[in-house]
Amino acid sequence: MKRIFIVALLAFSSIYLKAQEKDYANYPYWIAMIDRPETNYYEALKAYTITGKTELNRWMKKKNYFRK
């Protein structure tokens, strides 16, 4: 019974932690991050890079950029 409780607790905690992660690819969090002085520089750079790559890929697919 104790093992089942521990396994269930670990499973639910991992689900909760996954929900806490920010989805940089679908929302430009870096815009709000640059206004906050307590923001980690590398985290803001990561958000900017992921958002930029995603937007570039969307644009290239929209324009059929890889068409031969």
- Residue-by-residue pLDDT tens, the chain, 68 positions: 777 767 666 666 655 545 456 777 788 888 888 888 898 888 888 888 888 888 877 777 777 766 65
Q: Is residue 49 part of a domain?
A: yes
Q: Is residue 41 part of a domain?
A: yes
Q: How many domains does the chain have?
A: 1
Q: Is residue 51 part of a domain?
A: yes
Q: Is residue 5 part of a domain?
A: no
Q: What is the pLDDT of residue 46?
A: 87
Q: Is residue 1 part of a domain?
A: no
Q: Which domain holds residue 31?
A: 22-68
Q: Is residue 28 part of a domain?
A: yes
Q: What is the pLDDT of residue 12?
A: 63
Q: Is residue 13 part of a domain?
A: no
Measured CA distances, 2 to 10, 11, 14, 34 (Å): 12, 14, 19, 46
pTM over 0.75: no
Alpha carbon 21 to its chain centroid, in Å, reads: 6
Question: How many CB atoms lie under 10 A from the CB of residue 7?
Answer: 10
Give the residue among 49, 44, 42, 61 at the shortest CA–CA distance from 25: 49
Helices (H), 1-68: 2-20, 30-33, 41-62
